[in-house]
Amino acid sequence: MLLLTAWLLWVHSTPTASAQTETRPHVRAKQVARLVRDYRKAEKHMQTCETIAARAIRKGLPFVEALVPLADEQCWRLLKQYPGQFGKRIAAADRIERAYVLEGSQQLQAQRKRLLQQAQIANRLRDAASLPRLHVLIRKRAKPGKESIPPDWPFTSYLELIEQELVGTWIDAQGRGYLTSVEREVLVLANQQRDEHGLPPLELDYDLCLASREHSRDMHRRHYFSHTSKVANRRTIGHRARRFGTSAVAENIGSCVSAAQAVSLWMASTGHKRNILDPQLHRVGIGHVGRKYTMMFGR
């Protein structure tokens, strides 16, 4: 009898399995809230954020899902600030090229590094939560014109595109008489070839430069390489030239890492070489954006 009474008392005093499981969500919610609070406090310290994100991934999906919106918003906030910071450095660069703008400012390099680290954290959390990577969020929030970004692009490539477009916008703002150092180098190298063949130098047509630069930018932004533009009113060489009030009868395009490589490849190609050395062609426009080079020729 005493044993039965003791057993009954033990049964009634011990929490059931269902009662124990009811306490778990409450405890987990507190843990999630604590993790979110820690992440908010550490927002300016990338290494600490990485550690907290790794902890969330180890703990499981509820912890990851709680951090994803924070990491996304932090990345988006940094991304909105970056173009203004990059734009301020363009005029101070030794050469108006993306790489030289970055090289000229340690502060800008540090800001870029922080942005890339934050994007990496956000993508790790998104991967753990089986969510689309950060570029999908960017595509949804981006201004019109960014819809051509490939879905598998890494964040670094997207950032380079932003930087290149900022450089292009600055160049366009200088007016029709402006030529970048890379574009001028193409002109010098092409005219050296003409001089070696006893031909007069090509003369710059600044309107053709605008048309050439526009085509290079289109190829760079829309990720194609062709003499036929993907834009309706820029399909042909003639269309592109007329948009800027001039004319053209031939065109060279290249996807290269330098002006020297572009001219070297053109001179090794029969058709491109013919354009550069054609004695009937006297005007030229040159446009460079990213790795895309365009030369448009007129009589």
Phi, psi for 293 (deg, rounded to 5):
-120, 140
Convert the pLDDT of each residue in 117-172 to its tens digit.
Answer: 999 999 999 999 988 877 666 655 555 444 455 656 678 877 887 888 788 778 77
Answer whether residue 229 shows pLDDT above 50: yes
DSSP state of 26: H
pLDDT at residue 18, rounded to an integer: 41
pLDDT at residue 284, rounded to an integer: 94
Specify the 3-state DSSP secondary structure of 287.
strand
Beta-bridge mates of residue 204: 284
Cβ neighbours of residue 211 closer than 8 Å, sequence gap 6 or more: 240, 241, 243, 244, 246, 248, 285, 287, 296
Cβ neighbours of residue 242 closer than 8 Å, sequence gap 6 or more: none
Residue 176: pLDDT band (50, 70, 90) is low
Average pLDDT, integer, range 245-256: 92
The total of other beta-carbon atoms located within 10 Å of residue 144's CB is 5
Write the DSSP assignment of 85-135 as a string of letters: HHHHHHTTSSSSSHHHHHHT-HHHHHHHHHHHHHHHHHHHHHHHTTPPPHH
Global pTM value: 0.64
Residue 8: pLDDT band (50, 70, 90) is very low
Alpha-carbon distance of 79 to 67, in angstroms, equals 18
Average pLDDT, integer, range 3-8: 47
